[in-house]
A and B are shown apart, each in its own frame.
Chain A
């Protein structure tokens, strides 16, 4: 208790020091506290953006980054604290104040409209007009010219008339940046801008960020990837569980220090995996010659031993997710046989898989992972109800007492951070949502769990918790399959890794043999 108190005090003083140094902030947030019913989302946070700097905002999911940014955009009102823009103090920002002071947010989920051109996307809702004979007409020529200027400025080699649907994801992201630039944004907030980019695309993004910086714009950069933070940041503000840890120059930081501040504990590079362990011959799951009806994966065979975690590597679209969908019954098979704990499986749909004891934690949480209007509790109980009732879930009654027990049990086991399990699941951070989904499957007592990109968009601390959960499941004799595009994740969690290339199995490595180079080579040849 005392330790926490001291840490908080230190954090506050260092924050105050920062404030003394900079006098001409573009925006500043002083001593911000935000309370929601039952939860304090932020407490005593200081944050400011200077012209010509990249200010990194770092923290685990649920640390309060989004809440803080929503106050900058005017969506939320601080419970306590002062907001300052261009030297003027406000009790809160409205969306209007935010806009007038040049604050622009580029969200993780891009808002580019596919059906219209780049130029129209940039000027959507703010079309330029000219008067011809007293009538206001859309001024396409000026908009085109202005768009071209902005595109040149940020280095997107596309003509303003190109339909946005033809653009790649990084290009769409650049259109969003162009939009901010076109309307003379002074502060550009980028929410995890690199989450879906390749290394090369990230480098290009960083060049653009550098250019914007030199023009005197202030950039707020939100990311989980520490190497990027070190590469691009000038200063970093760290939040932990809504507490303000402090603001520091990047030059005084290293990755280890950042991790320790974010999670308040050391995280080791490897996760409880023992390369020399012999798993014997107790095969719990076996797949033979699986080919999907649409041929997106072909002739796949593999075995999973008790206690093992088996990883699946390869490029996106190489057939890994596709194979898992087939095993789970979400996509039809042409050929293939599966055995789980000695029993032959006949799976035609996800319901069969659930009944047989197979669970799939899907890649895209929001789309395929949870029921958005359900409470945490209702989500946690869903699979158990379905499994225990007959005729596809048509029979069976709600049992509030059991619901409560299961919810509390999973909440504790998965370490779900919430005020109560009656909260709607959408109020949780991504990492906690993932834990709910995992808890939902665990409540159904599965024998094989498939993880598809289990830590996508999840912060370092929660990641390590999920890895530990995965290992604990394997130790309990539950089969664990992991599909991941993050090689360090596979290398540090899996006992064996199967590599896919173009719908086929193209290599298998034990944790001793596996290196990033070997996996890449197998995936691309």
Chain B
């Protein structure tokens, strides 16, 4: 393979190669437990929440911004839905209300960013804590148990395939179509690549910033529903620190931190990579304290590897 060919290969399949490499290593390390059909389903399930959060995060990062509040929004939406279900609200209505709440919180992020002309980092750093605080206040700090069976069954299996993962994959298809086929997404990419020129081309930058953050929160809300359904309860501290995984999934998936570049498919692979790492560490019996250290190192390592290979190809 020539260098140029390898470069275009790496551009397309870099993230996938890292994921495959990781799967191979873990399969060798633990063929008995890791390399089983059940475990792969497990990985898919574990990845679902990361993937959905990362999809939302993607739109914030695409605009050269960030959303640190996705984990809190997921917990908050989960908590609201759990409380509504406990109060006897029908499931579809509760879900709809939960998603509406997610949109409202996304709008809060977007409006603050626009009105105060602050970097999304600062705004969402603040709202992350605020949303978490609201969750603790409404739940009085305790988890909500005993959700209807039908709600829990939503994260079951269909023909032996985990429903949440299926849903994440459908979401991926929808978002891939959206990002590649819609004028709105084209405008988001333009805004992320050069805000000023987007504005002078007629793109209303504030509307699109608001839109991106509402989309980020909406997807976080979806993640929150799945999280709550899987656990069968809403924990006020659920999803704490998950923004790290969401951001890491985007970066591993090749989304540029400087905005304007990135693909949903890459983010999907990024989320699966994070899920695989978590699962692998559990299987290898790494203690949860060490897991954090290893996870951090693997995030840096996998992005660095991609960059090092990418650079060495580019420079030669």
Contacts and interface: CB of A to CB of B under 8 A. Distances in A.
Contacts of B204: 349, 351, 392
Contacts of B183: 385-386, 389, 393-398
Contacts of B197: 367-371
A467 B184 CA distance: 34
B202 to A, nearest CB: 4
Contacts of A354: 201-202
A306 to B, nearest CB: 25
Contact of B260 (A368, A373, A385): A373
Interface stretch (B97-105, B186-194, B243-251, B271-279): B186-194
A442 interface: no
B196 A393 contact: no
B207 interface: yes
A306 B202 CA distance: 25
Nearest to A440: B201
B309 to A, nearest CB: 21
Interface in A352-390: 353-355, 360, 362, 367-374, 378, 382-383, 385-387, 389
B184 to A, nearest CB: 5
Contact of B189 (A350, A360, A374): A374
B194 A370 contact: yes
Interface size grouping (class) on chain A: 20 to 34
A345 interface: no
Interface in B256-314: 260-261
A393 B181 contact: no
Interface in B176-228: 180-184, 186-187, 189-190, 193-194, 196-204, 207-208, 211
A113 interface: no
Contact of A374 (B181, B193, B200): B193
A351 B200 CA distance: 9
A160 to B, nearest CB: 35
Nearest to B191: A371
Given A370-B197, A371-B194, A350 B181 contact: no
Contacts of A372: 193-194, 260
Interface string A259-299: 00000000000000000000000000000000000000000
Nearest to A441: B201
Nearest to A394: B184
Looking at chain A's contact residues, is the secondary structure mostly helix, strand, loop, or mixed?
helix
A330 interface: yes
Contacts of A397: 181-183
A168 B241 CA distance: 48
Contacts of A373: 189, 193, 260-261
Contacts of A396: 182-184
B189 A382 contact: no
A374 B190 contact: yes
A406 to B, nearest CB: 14
Most buried by A among B196, B197, B199: B197
Contacts of B198: 371
A350 B237 CA distance: 44
A175 B202 CA distance: 39
B206 to A, nearest CB: 9
Contact of A368 (B190, B200, B207, B211): B200
Nearest to B261: A373
Nearest to B185: A398
Nearest to B184: A394
A362 B211 CA distance: 27
Nearest to A328: B200
B261 A351 contact: no
Contact of A393 (B187, B193, B261): B187
A440 B197 CA distance: 12
B260 A395 contact: no
A69 B34 CA distance: 56
Nearest to A384: B183
A398 B180 contact: yes
Interface string A180-213: 0000000000000000000000000000000000
A351 B194 contact: no
A387 B187 CA distance: 12
A30 B201 CA distance: 45
Contact of A398 (B181, B196, B199, B211): B181
Most buried by B among A355, A370, A387, A395: A370
Contact of A392 (B180, B181, B207, B260): B207
Nearest to B207: A392
A108 B227 CA distance: 55
A349 B199 CA distance: 9
A386 B196 CA distance: 16
- Of the listed residues B184, B202, B260, the one surrounded by the most CB atoms of chain A closer than 10 A to its CB is B202
Interface in B39-89: none
Given A371-B260, A373-B261, A382 B190 contact: yes
A354 B204 CA distance: 11
B116 to A, nearest CB: 19
Contacts of A387: 202
Contacts of B190: 371, 374, 382
Interface string A316-350: 00000000000010100000000000000000011
A383 B198 CA distance: 10
A278 to B, nearest CB: 35
A382 B193 contact: no
Contacts of B260: 371-373
A373 B187 CA distance: 12
B152 to A, nearest CB: 36
B222 to A, nearest CB: 20
Contact of A383 (B180, B182, B194, B201): B201
8 contacts: A351-B202, A371-B189, A372-B194, A373-B261, A385-B186, A386-B183, A393-B183, A398-B186
Interface of B: 180-184, 186-187, 189-190, 193-194, 196-204, 207-208, 211, 260-261
The 10 closest A-B pairs by CB, nearest first: A354-B202, A396-B183, A373-B193, A368-B200, A351-B202, A350-B202, A371-B190, A385-B183, A373-B260, A371-B193
Given A350-B202, A374-B190, A393-B203, 10 more contacts: A350-B200, A369-B200, A370-B194, A378-B186, A386-B203, A392-B207, A393-B183, A393-B184, A393-B202, A396-B182
